[in-house]
A and B are shown apart, each in its own frame.
Chain A
Amino acid sequence: MPKITFVPYRQEEITVEAEIGSTVMETAVRNGIPGIEAECGGACACATCHVYVEDGWYEKVGAPQPMEEDMLDFAWEVKPNSRLSCQMKVTAELDGLVVHVPERQA
């Protein structure tokens, strides 16, 4: 299974196994990663599963679709490497992915 590393804000990083086909948000929630709230449960409707994709990974992960880009308007401190983790599907290519959790989910 691919491994994903979450770096919670000012805390030790956590590496977990992720199921192919699930989302990065589901992987975070299943493993109790602090700072991923996912209020709407993955409907791309709340922007509380916002993460920053580590340098070098963003191209592999891909840019957000228009709906996610719109929802990112509701996130806090959006950066060029911002993504909503509920819209990122785990694939074999993402083995080793590192994402950073922002200080706040607004």
Chain B
Amino acid sequence: MSERISTDVVIIGAGPVGLFAVFELGLLDLKCHLIDILDKPGGQCAELYPEKPIYDIPAYPVIGAQELVDKLQEQIKPFGPIFHYGQQVEKVEKLDDGSFLVGTDAGTEFAAKVVVIAAGGGSFQPKRPPVPGIEGYEGTSVFYSVRKMDAFRDQSIVIVGGGDSALDWTLNLQPIAKRVTLVHRRDDFRGAPHSVDQMRALVAEGKVDLVIGQIAGLEGEGADLSGVVIKKTDGSTVTIPATRMMPFFGLTMKLGPIAQWGLNLTENLIAVDTEKFETSEPGIFAIGDINSYPGKLKLILSGFHEAALMAQAAKRIVDPTKRLVFQYTTSSTSLQKKLGVN
């Protein structure tokens, strides 16, 4: 267990709203750590539609989603936010002194005076293909990622998909597996050309089987998989003997562990007030797409506004005795000093 990180604020989610929260909190001298399940900042903007234009960011008639993320990163740089990528927050618990213990699935722990949930549509999770009974095999025979290579040693593995994850694991697991079968719905792969070539070479050498088709069912006993039924393009089915399966059907967004933190939820969204965007637990705020209140619009613009108001309330929690003086970045020398422009 690593040492607990002490900070003013932990922001869960490094999407556009989480990033801008760093700015608003930073103007009030609050230091932030951000946690995101993705391996980069930007959330949906970076993961789902980096190349797409956004037309409703004030003063930008059009801005690319990734460009928006890059500019936000530049804007918050003076405040030195610290990012923790590839981690999911599993627990948020109140400590005796009124602060919060935030723990991730990677074992990182934080002690934060304020927690800001800016988790958008939830965390990105591998999509579960709707094969009947697949849940029963998950964790034993069906895996969406590789935590320990040894769990795949000498196994008959079926890998499903046509992207980089499917190709990478085909290449990486082939040397230790009993047999690897790659299943894809078409004989065309969207992964890196180099990986495609390597996979094709292994197929040509007879070291990997390539089957063109789609999963139709699973066979096995209890949690132990014995075969994957594949429907081929011509309509015929074939059963591939398999003790492990890895499906790669992209990512979807799930609320995840947030549902277990005891916060009031409204239809899978976190209920907040519209003065501070605070949840039912004082000291925990929710901003951006993840929150719900009367009249809520899921716009990046709205999330920015919510971040500004939240920051004022967060400051009062962190520094209850300090009198807050409202200032403009245009004229305040002290704000400009924080921004490094004066």
**Partner-B contacts on A (CB < 8 A):** 39-40, 43, 45-47, 69-70, 72-74, 76-78, 104, 106
Contacts and interface: CB of A to CB of B under 8 A. Distances in A.
Main SS class of interface, A: loop
Interface of B: 44, 48-49, 52, 121, 127-130, 161-163, 184-186, 188, 190, 214, 249-250, 252-253
Contacts of B253: 39
B188 to A, nearest CB: 8
Given A39-B252, A47-B250, A76 B48 contact: no
A106 B48 CA distance: 17
Contacts of A46: 48, 250, 252
A40 B129 contact: no
Contacts of B121: 39
A40 B185 contact: no
Given A46-B250, A73-B186, 17 more contacts: A39-B252, A43-B49, A45-B48, A70-B162, A70-B163, A70-B190, A73-B162, A73-B185, A73-B190, A73-B249, A74-B249, A74-B250, A76-B129, A77-B214, A78-B185, A104-B130, A106-B129
Contact of A106 (B49, B130, B186): B130
Contact of B163 (A39, A40, A73, A76): A73
14 contacts: A39-B252, A45-B48, A46-B48, A69-B186, A70-B190, A72-B185, A73-B161, A73-B162, A73-B190, A74-B250, A76-B129, A104-B130, A106-B129, A106-B249
Contacts of B250: 46-47, 73-74
Contacts of A104: 130
A65 B250 CA distance: 19
B193 to A, nearest CB: 14
Nearest to B162: A73
B48 A43 contact: yes
B177 to A, nearest CB: 23
A58 B214 CA distance: 21
Give the one of B184, B186, B252 with max A CB within 10 A. Answer: B252
Given A78-B185, A106-B129, A45 B49 contact: yes
A39 B47 CA distance: 13
A73 B190 CA distance: 9
Given A46-B252, A73-B163, A74-B249, A106 B190 contact: no
A106 B162 contact: no
A72 B121 CA distance: 22
A52 to B, nearest CB: 14
Contacts of B162: 70, 73
Contacts of A40: 44, 48-49
A69 B189 CA distance: 10
